[in-house]
Structure 1
Amino acid sequence: MARKLGILGGSGLYEIEGLQGAAWTEVETPWGKPSDAFFTGSLNGLDLVFLPRHGSGHVHAPGDVPYRANIDAMKRLGVTDILSISACGSFREEMAPGDFVAIDQFIDRTVGRPSSFFGSGCVAHVSMAHPTCPRLARAAVAAAREAGATVHEGGTYLAMEGPQFSSLAESRMYRESWGADIIGMTNMPEAKLAREAEICFLTLAMVTDYDSWHPDHGSVDIREILATLAANAGHAKGTVAAMPGLLDHETPCPHGCDRALEHAIMTKPAARDPALLAKLSAVAGRVLEA
């Protein structure tokens, strides 16, 4: 199966340049309307799908992003790999504003966001022990470095609810007691939903600030964040442009991301809710129809 790369753009990345056969595509899902239309096309031989996570004009707050609709639509469009590019704060001196971090772990502190496609009528439990795809990470790290970015391989992303930034006490706790490296507001439940949809997933975090723990930086300044995002936009676009030459276009995922539902569904076929099964047709059709 040929790979198709989905890009979830957050603050600072609202468009992809240079696509051949580019078109905006509306996708209907049983989980509601996605954040926006999808920008589709081909980039140097790799089919690509781009979605601005917050919508055109940045209209969706982190807690209001229609995460299930976004991931379901990506699956319907044939996406096999998702690169989530997100603006984040840093808890580590060495992960400085302007740097990129390829995330390999998450701590989920979000509340009130639907975090699963499954539920009563069809129960499933997927593993999140290793929530990002190493194969996709290798390609993204190489692409970002080719684009001129400083990249850190591996890091723990703490997903907070927001939309407010952390208090000083929270920032210190996340950094010193919990061992988090990066903090953001949007990559949960994205990573969980991508795993349930059997899509390879990677967060490439763009560091914009030191949150509030740093004694020389104090509180988060939105003006500084915007300035850093503007400076990093070129690196982000360059990373996407380099991905086609670095991502394996044909081989199934060697880490099993594309088979995450293989033994995950617990509800016996006779007890499954037909209405929920209809909603799961895209993300779980491979196993439900087997």
Structure 2
Amino acid sequence: MNWITNYVRPRINSMLGRREVPENLWIKCPETGEMVFHKDLEENKWVIPASGYHMKMPAKARLADLFDNGDYEALPQPKVAQDPLKFRDSKRYTDRLKDSRLKTEQDDTIVAGLGTVKGVKLVAVVHEFNFMGGSLGLAAGEAIVKAFERALKEKCPLVMFPASGGARMQEGILSLMQLPRTTVAVNMLKEAGLPYIVVLTNPTTGGVTASYAMLGDLHIAEPGAEICFAGKRVIEQTIREKLPEGFQTSEYLLEHGMVDMVISRHEIPSTLARVLTIMMKQPAISKETALARVPDAA
């Protein structure tokens, strides 16, 4: 950046009445290179229409898409210590948190809500990957535990949508402590006889995979999602061998029995409703209800 960029160009644009065009109006498909207008991508649930490639979906948008008519009760974010280790690398941890909150308009990586999906009441927990890579820290762990407690109180299932790089290094051992805490919360739900379903999204890695992301009664995955503990490059450098094509993708894990089904994002609400009615021994929903949203009250 220099004086031409900072001063001259804005002055010329203001005199000519020109407006700066946002850089994210067009999104490039990572697979085919196709350019897609951002509004078209949003309307298609962040799935590239031609290739079917599943882009990362914002957490709040996922909740609004999942619940009937986009109507749900947002669960509060618990208050925790912000920087317990006074951590600093190239930046202070508190500054990284401020940047992520400004970027995502969220307190931390976890967003949770209570509502109905095709008439089935459930609690949904979603990772926001744009908040420090969806990493698991004190705030995220506490939010997940509180979401499980709410599901127990409501006597309803919980659906988890992980998208994470793993534990949050800026919180050290305190981050790793969230793995057993969330595992205990999963067991509490199971002991109550309530279903726990995990919808694995891209990417689901590290300590999140090593804990609650792989403890579901049913594991659904979005197409092409990377699901692993250690990355492909780390494994190849460790064992000094080339890994198979598509290793650690949803389709590879389905073929080897690690996930139960791989389905398009468009089919997730109807699939969850259908599966949960079976698990909860509720009356079967009609095909029309499974394929369509609950109509607006109007």
TM-score by length of 1: 0.27
- Where relative contact order (Cα < 8 A, 6+ residues apart) is larger, the structure is 1
TM-score by length of 2: 0.27
Q: Could you say which structure has the higher strand fraction?
A: 1
